[in-house]
Structure 1
Amino acid sequence: MSEKMYPIPFKSLMNWVVTEYAMSGEIFGVHKAYKASGKSLPIFGERIETPFGPAAGPNSQLAQNIIAAYFAGARFFEVKTVQKMDGADLAACVPRPCILANDEGYNQEWSTELTVPQAMDEYIKAWCTLKVLSKVYGLGDPNGFVFNMSVGYDLEGIKGEKVDTYLNGMMDATKTAIFGECKAVLKELFPQESDYIDAISPCVSRSVTVSTLHGCPPDEIERIASYLISEKHLHTFVKCNPTILGYETARTILDGMGYDYIVFDDHHFREDLQWADAVPMFERLQDLADKCGLEFGLKLSNTFPVDTTRGELPNDEMYMSGRSLFPLTIEMCHRISRQFKGKMRISFAGGAEYFNCDKLFAAGIWPITVATTILKPGGYNRLLQMVEKVESMPYKAFDGTCTEAICALSAASHTDYHHVKPIKPLPKRKSEKNVPWIDCFTAPCKGGCPIEQDIPEYVELCRKELYGPALKLITEKNPLPFLTGTICAHRCQNKCTRNFYEESVQIRDTKLVAAYHGYEALMASIRKPAKVSGKKAAIIGGGPTGIAAAYFLGRAGIETTIFERERCLGGVPRHVIPSFRIANETIEKDIALMQKYDVEVKCGAPAPSVEELKKLGYTHILFAVGAWKPGKLDIPGDVAGAIQWMKGVKAGNIAVGGNVVVVGGGNTAMDAARLAKRSGAKNVTLVYRRTKKYMPADEHELALALQDGVAFAELAAPVAQADGVLKCEQMKLGEADASGRRSPVGTGEFFTVPCDLVISAVGEQVDDALMSANGIELDKKGRPAFKTNVEGVYAAGDATRGPATVVEGIADAARFAEEVIGAAHTYEIPAAAYITKADAIAKKGTLLMSKDACCEGKRCLQCSTVCENCVDSCPNRANVAIAMADGSHQIVHVDKMCNECGNCTQFCPYASEPCHDKFTLFQTAEDMVDSKNAGVLFLGGDMVRVRTFGEPKDYDLSRDNDLPADLEKLIVTIRDKYSYLFG
């Protein structure tokens, strides 16, 4: 495929709309329709039923974009900018992909990719459609929405024939061919509304937003706006750039909010409109508009130009939007409101979304247009929640902005969770699997879990307060629900689709809820299995991995013994991890669960050798020993290994005082530092060679250390400890390594940190002497393979991985159990754990913080039932969900509607690009030739051309063929039920 997209002929467009609505009650995949309340706001001599809509951009370029937005509740449409450069000339200047919206937004587009005449046709098509749908489907007042034009970027181009014809046609579409065509088609579809359709107003737009490129001189901006006001008699907004704040202000705000990695210099700030020029110009334009009886205002803001330094998008420069733009935009808003004493009308974009839209509206700022938020999962559906949030607020004509409220909003944005960047870089959200053509819905949380826990299912059981069944389901794969419910690294939460909404579902916490509420019922339900003869397992190490392995084997009836050198089971969590992180009583519950299956436990002495164990009849032996051996911190001074030191402190054998320095950046380092701080140390400093951003510790653990008062010495390499100080070399960050982490480089400069004791939390290891003594071969890292060279002997958890997470140890334990048992464990998921597609879809587009939810099940998007992220996030609606006869839904990519913006790629949970990797519907033979996508071209009747792998082949669907059966069903369904997709 290429980036070429086709405007849909109006008859085909309407066929799509009315057919889809009749079939599903949806339009262009938007699930929830907004039906207006009857309230409205006056603007430009017209009225809008809601103050929201899409900003000029990817969501207002095509007729279907605008229709989808209206259906979801938009009533103010800032249609995409037109300029003298258009069509193929402009498309050649836009690299692909051109949108990156997975966190703060970036893009490399600026005006419509259509020709200017095509753009006008699209907007007129959308105008006529909304006029009829509002009435026929009861969505609202047919006069309850406004189209606002956007033009750029120089007066000569705007006065030129191309753009002038556009302006005239939008102001009065009477003489345009498309206006007549639209009315004819609509009367054919809705003959009962013929008189109404004949009376549709040809005045599509009475207003315009002046979009200016960076570097546009102030006198040119004023000439453009003056022309549009006085000559074209249009209500006019002038779009302002955040550069008006000045370089130092913008840099300070972004740096203070964690966006220090965003690179830009001061040239745009020097070349763009300056505050000293802007204020008198806006005053003059306001006076001119007043004299002409027109409305004037400012649109805040344009996107913000920054450098591409990390390969985000193809070109050297891109435009920033979304949550990082909001603090800049709202500060602009504050200064303008203050300067003009609240009398300047302000239209807002630049990071507006659900969590701030009500505050903006309450401050007198409207209309509010959005882009980045509706490019994320949930897509256009997000508009409805914004509309509903402000619907109960007073609607009144613009009577000024509240400077005090805007000032407070600006100040609050600097610490607002929804705008501040986390300390650490975003984790990888995608799996390593490729997206399948059929049944691609998947729960990314499950895929991100080493044991593939049935997360959506147990979360749903908890939502229904079925805690016993929830815990039973959890323990099918996870025998340590209390441990993992308390200290699991929860990589599943990194993958959760909710991250693209506001924050992850609190999966770990939900597991702990199930554990506490379902424990007694689970314990009472356990029945001892029949014993299996001929197999006997020995597990060396009674930490999480060993306990998990013993549980799995005991459940299967395998005679099992744990050998633990400490006086009790629990490993590192029991003996090392501080009790403020996890209590012994919690660990005991998991141990008791394992012991329900009659596992023998021998504590307080080293395990017999492998040879001795085999003589005792053990057929399978697992080394599940922990990483107790300290990593080497090769500096002189008073240095203690973190694990043994923490163990001594927890046991009460080591007193803590003075100045303590912890060297390291992982979770163990955070635990050691917090333990020192809470146990009496005067000062605790954590020393790390890189910055916090590159520390391997989880964001949550890092935040807890900061909260406990641990000081951080970043970019510091320890050299020696003596005389109450630790000497460190100051480091700087050099080039990035293969993982993307920038390597620390010494500067030759040194400093000291008060230090009486150094705790080394670097690279804990397993004692390789134990392995060697039993004849087990080790790799270069001193680790054995899972299945060692010694017959019947295995290694798991820390023993084979190095320091591992608890859940990684459980995964290894399950693998060992499967080796011993000879088969994978099977189980059934309770029927109550499943959720309907309708219930899953109802959650789409609804943002809800954990603190505001009664339970996490209310927030879980149930991706194992419905994913459709690529459908939500495509502004052009080029990814379509097809309802199959068996109730399943399959995704088809519609080639003609895709411009390869790349947005869907960011949100597909697979390591794939839906626009390239999903099964594709082609419009023409030429389109199929231009593409490498697998897909189908309908040739008429039963004949189709299909590409699977390699070259396309023609097939007769009425005869036997070698098409995969599930693919053939999909193709037939598209032909028989979704012909409007290729009409």
Structure 2
Amino acid sequence: MGKVTGFLEYERQHEAYEAPLTRVKHYKEFVAALSDADAKIQGARCMDCGIPFCNNGCPVNNIIPDFNDLVYRQDWKSAIEVLHSTNNFPEFTGRICPAPCEAACTLNINKEPVGIKSIEHAIIDKAWAEGWVTTQIAKHKTGKKVAVVGSGPAGLAAAQQLARAGHEVTVFEKNDRIGGLLRYGIPDFKLEKWQIDRRMRQMEAEGVTFRTNVFIGKGELPAYIGNTARETITPDELKEQFDAVVIAGGAETPRDLPVPGRELQGVHYAMDFLPQQNKVNAGDKLPGQLLAKGKHVIVIGGGDTGSDCVGTSNRHGAKSVTQFELLPQPPEAENKPLVWPYWPVKLRTSSSHEEGCQRDWSVATKRFEGKNGKVEKLVAARVEWKDGKMVEVPDSEFEMKADLVLLAMGFTQPVSQVLAAFGVDKDPRGNVRASTEGEKAYYTSVDRVFTAGDMRRGQSLVVWAIREGRQCARSVDAFLMGSSELPR
């Protein structure tokens, strides 16, 4: 806990944001970490609540009261040791996690919760600045070799843990750069990519080998999958070279919208749009880049990916940006006595929305129309929900100008070509079937093949991917060595 009476004395302090009119002119991060003094005050608000529900609210089970108290006492070096004991990459989660821990904070019952995410952000930024983030090289090598397929947060977490256990780890990535959706799904203004590169250098020093432009599987990938692979390795070939394999390729199949006019030029998946800007920011030349400049943009899907499309479109200089959501508009504030300590359904306005966006709810797209093969307008209708079923409101059809339509309705399952090549069993949703408990935790139906992250659990959060990567690493280590000292 922090100060005994701190929660009574201090209000929640929010991180400082650069003004919308200036930040839309660049792709750099615009959120400033708390100063030491402000972080101390925020840490002081942590209550002596007896049962820290925030620990359970956090998927990686961060020891939140402990590092809050350490920040209050200005013992920053101990704070990063506590934070790193459960979380390999707090610079990622401190920036892009939606903070379910804060929803579970006891103070959130009747006041604003402790700014746990902002404290985490401040701890890791200070730790890097002070040189406290160092390599952890295994004292003894096991002689065992592990392949990790996919370099998103689950794959990276598993790889780092396994390398620290003394195994020889190689990470395979089909794209030209390491990071998965951290690299190409999240805009730079939310997470600058040098953050990933810095962790890569640490992991390489710890013994992890990275191989990019390598596809693990059989056949060709769909056009919507970012793939620059110049080499293909089959699962059988991979198993011949390694003692264990972790497949952590994420859930990359986007949900489509099969309505008339879907084939028109200008209707794209969000993941056709977002990675291109990240590549350009990294210095790549893309002559045919998909741009929103001067266009009427419609984003279909009200989640984080849709919000990222809004922010990127504004930076391109879109003429207008509209975001549609099929579900009804949530309440502005949750009923805390009813939902606490669980994640509440409430209206969330992101920084991208603040930069300029027209939002609308309970809207179903009926068709796209255009001329000469190009989309020009979207035709939609109002819907309402009765007895759990969606019903179109009579005489509610309307149309809007649309030069660019971005489909951001989530992801349904992993890439089927990869799962078919490995021959693993799938659950009813098309994900890899694997339990998270017992001696066979994260073990697939195929010998020596494990899985973690969105490839196993379906579309989820970065923080869940890190948790699964860490737990999977422990299971792999126990399989190879008979037991494991890695934390679960």
Whole-angstrom CA distance in 2 between matches of 1:498 and 1:752: 45
Question: How far did 1:700 drift?
Answer: 8.3
Q: 1:667·1:701 contact (CA, 8 Å) conserved in 2?
A: no
Aligned twin of 1:784: 432
| 1:744 matched to 2:379 | no
Whole-angstrom CA distance in 2 between matches of 1:815 and 1:548: 9
> Of 718, 727, 734, which aligns to 2:365?
718
1:839-854 equivalence runs, <5 A: none
> Of 818, 831, 835, which aligns to 2:474?
818
| 1:447 matched to 2:84 | no
- 1:791 alignment partner AA: D
Whole-angstrom CA distance in 2 between matches of 1:586 and 1:514: 15
Question: How far did 1:596 drift?
Answer: 3.3
Aligned twin of 1:702: 349
Question: How far did 1:660 drift?
Answer: 1.0
- 2:381 alignment partner AA: E
Question: How far did 1:762 drift?
Answer: 1.3
Whole-angstrom CA distance in 1 between matches of 2:133 and 2:358: 48
Q: 1:667·1:697 contact (CA, 8 Å) conserved in 2?
A: no
**Structure 1's 826 and 543: CA in aligned 2 closer, same or farther, altered over 3 A?**
closer
Q: Which secondary structure state, in structure 2, belongs to the residue aligned with residue 606 of structure 1? A: strand
TM-score, with structure 1 as normaliser: 0.38
Question: How far did 1:534 drift?
Answer: 4.9
**Structure 1's 523 and 547: CA in aligned 2 closer, same or farther, altered over 3 A?**
farther
Whole-angstrom CA distance in 1 between matches of 2:100 and 2:484: 24
> Of 563, 573, 578, which aligns to 2:187?
578
| 1:552 matched to 2:147 | no
Aligned twin of 1:540: 149
**Greater fraction of residues in helix:** 1
Question: How far did 1:535 drift?
Answer: 2.7
> Of 654, 664, 683, which aligns to 2:290?
654
Aligned twin of 2:307: 670
String of CA shifts for 1:557-590, please: whole Å, max 9, x gaps. 1211100111221111211211111111222233
Q: 1:796·1:812 contact (CA, 8 Å) conserved in 2?
A: yes
**Structure 1's 825 and 495: CA in aligned 2 closer, same or farther, altered over 3 A?**
farther
Question: How far did 1:454 drift?
Answer: 0.8
Q: Is there any run of 5+ residues in structure 1 with no aligned partner, and where?
A: 1-30, 33-377, 387-439, 738-742, 828-983
String of CA shifts for 1:112-144, please: whole Å, max 9, x gaps. xxxxxxxxxxxxxxxxxxxxxxxxxxxxxxxxx
TM-score, with structure 2 as normaliser: 0.74
1:381-530 equivalence runs, <5 A: 441-519=50-128, 525-530=134-139
Question: How far did 1:678 drift?
Answer: 2.2
Aligned twin of 1:685: 322
Q: Which secondary structure state, in structure 2, belongs to the residue aligned with residue 730 of structure 1? A: strand
Question: How far did 1:699 drift?
Answer: 6.1
String of CA shifts for 1:386-437, please: whole Å, max 9, x gaps. 9xxxxxxxxxxxxxxxxxxxxxxxxxxxxxxxxxxxxxxxxxxxxxxxxxxx
| 1:612 matched to 2:237 | yes
Q: 1:472·1:522 contact (CA, 8 Å) conserved in 2?
A: no
Aligned twin of 2:382: 730
Whole-angstrom CA distance in 2 between matches of 1:481 and 1:698: 25
| 1:630 matched to 2:233 | no
Question: How far did 1:521 drift?
Answer: 5.2
Q: Which secondary structure state, in structure 1, belongs to the residue aligned with residue 356 of structure 2? A: coil
| 1:753 matched to 2:362 | no
String of CA shifts for 1:838-889, please: whole Å, max 9, x gaps. xxxxxxxxxxxxxxxxxxxxxxxxxxxxxxxxxxxxxxxxxxxxxxxxxxxx
Q: 2:103·2:344 contact (CA, 8 Å) conserved in 1?
A: no
**Structure 1's 524 and 643: CA in aligned 2 closer, same or farther, altered over 3 A?**
closer
Whole-angstrom CA distance in 2 between matches of 1:777 and 1:457: 41
**Structure 1's 496 and 697: CA in aligned 2 closer, same or farther, altered over 3 A?**
closer
Whole-angstrom CA distance in 2 between matches of 1:631 and 1:592: 35
Question: How far did 1:626 drift?
Answer: 2.5
Question: How far did 1:814 drift?
Answer: 1.3
Whole-angstrom CA distance in 2 between matches of 1:799 and 1:697: 25
Question: How far did 1:539 drift?
Answer: 0.4
> Of 756, 759, 762, which aligns to 2:409?
762
Q: 1:670·1:702 contact (CA, 8 Å) conserved in 2?
A: no
1:356-367 equivalence runs, <5 A: none
Q: Which secondary structure state, in structure 1, belongs to the residue aligned with residue 417 of structure 2? A: helix
String of CA shifts for 1:353-408, please: whole Å, max 9, x gaps. xxxxxxxxxxxxxxxxxxxxxxxxx9xxx7xx79xxxxxxxxxxxxxxxxxxxxxx
Question: How far did 1:610 drift?
Answer: 2.1
- 2:243 alignment partner AA: T
Whole-angstrom CA distance in 2 between matches of 1:554 and 1:505: 35
Q: Which secondary structure state, in structure 2, belongs to the residue aligned with residue 748 of structure 1? A: coil
Q: 1:483·1:590 contact (CA, 8 Å) conserved in 2?
A: no
Q: Which secondary structure state, in structure 2, belongs to the residue aligned with residue 589 of structure 1? A: helix
Aligned twin of 1:256: none
Aligned twin of 1:563: 172
Q: 1:715·1:744 contact (CA, 8 Å) conserved in 2?
A: no
- 1:609 alignment partner AA: T
Q: 2:251·2:454 contact (CA, 8 Å) conserved in 1?
A: yes
- 1:611 alignment partner AA: D
Q: 2:329·2:347 contact (CA, 8 Å) conserved in 1?
A: no
**Structure 1's 759 and 619: CA in aligned 2 closer, same or farther, altered over 3 A?**
same
Whole-angstrom CA distance in 2 between matches of 1:596 and 1:521: 19
**Structure 1's 687 and 611: CA in aligned 2 closer, same or farther, altered over 3 A?**
same
Question: How far did 1:826 drift?
Answer: 6.3
- 2:292 alignment partner AA: V
Q: 1:662·1:672 contact (CA, 8 Å) conserved in 2?
A: yes
String of CA shifts for 1:874-916, please: whole Å, max 9, x gaps. xxxxxxxxxxxxxxxxxxxxxxxxxxxxxxxxxxxxxxxxxxx
**Structure 1's 790 and 574: CA in aligned 2 closer, same or farther, altered over 3 A?**
same
Whole-angstrom CA distance in 2 between matches of 1:703 and 1:528: 39
String of CA shifts for 1:1-49, please: whole Å, max 9, x gaps. xxxxxxxxxxxxxxxxxxxxxxxxxxxxxx99xxxxxxxxxxxxxxxxx
What is the RMSD of the two structures over their aligned residues, measured on CA atoms?
A: 2.8
Q: 2:474·2:486 contact (CA, 8 Å) conserved in 1?
A: no
| 1:591 matched to 2:200 | yes
Q: Which secondary structure state, in structure 2, belongs to the residue aligned with residue 644 of structure 1? A: helix
1:149-164 equivalence runs, <5 A: none
Aligned twin of 2:35: none
4+ aligned runs moved over 3 Å, structure 1: 520-527, 694-701, 823-827
> Of 232, 236, 245, which aligns to 1:621?
245
**Structure 1's 524 and 660: CA in aligned 2 closer, same or farther, altered over 3 A?**
closer
**Structure 1's 650 and 575: CA in aligned 2 closer, same or farther, altered over 3 A?**
same
Aligned twin of 2:21: none
Q: 1:640·1:758 contact (CA, 8 Å) conserved in 2?
A: yes
- 2:327 alignment partner AA: R
String of CA shifts for 1:523-549, please: whole Å, max 9, x gaps. 565341123425321100011111111
Question: How far did 1:698 drift?
Answer: 8.2
Q: Which secondary structure state, in structure 2, belongs to the residue aligned with residue 508 of structure 1? A: helix
Q: 2:153·2:465 contact (CA, 8 Å) conserved in 1?
A: yes
Larger radius of gyration: 1
- 1:654 alignment partner AA: L
String of CA shifts for 1:98-118, please: whole Å, max 9, x gaps. xxxxxxxxxxxxxxxxxxxxx
Q: 1:783·1:800 contact (CA, 8 Å) conserved in 2?
A: yes
Whole-angstrom CA distance in 2 between matches of 1:486 and 1:524: 18
Q: Which secondary structure state, in structure 2, belongs to the residue aligned with residue 477 of structure 1? A: coil
Q: Which secondary structure state, in structure 1, belongs to the residue aligned with residue 394 of structure 2? A: strand
Aligned residue-pair number: 389
- 2:428 alignment partner AA: K
Whole-angstrom CA distance in 1 between matches of 2:109 and 2:344: 22
String of CA shifts for 1:487-538, please: whole Å, max 9, x gaps. 0121111101121242111111111111111125565653411234253211
Aligned twin of 2:31: none
Q: Which secondary structure state, in structure 2, belongs to the residue aligned with residue 684 of structure 1? A: strand
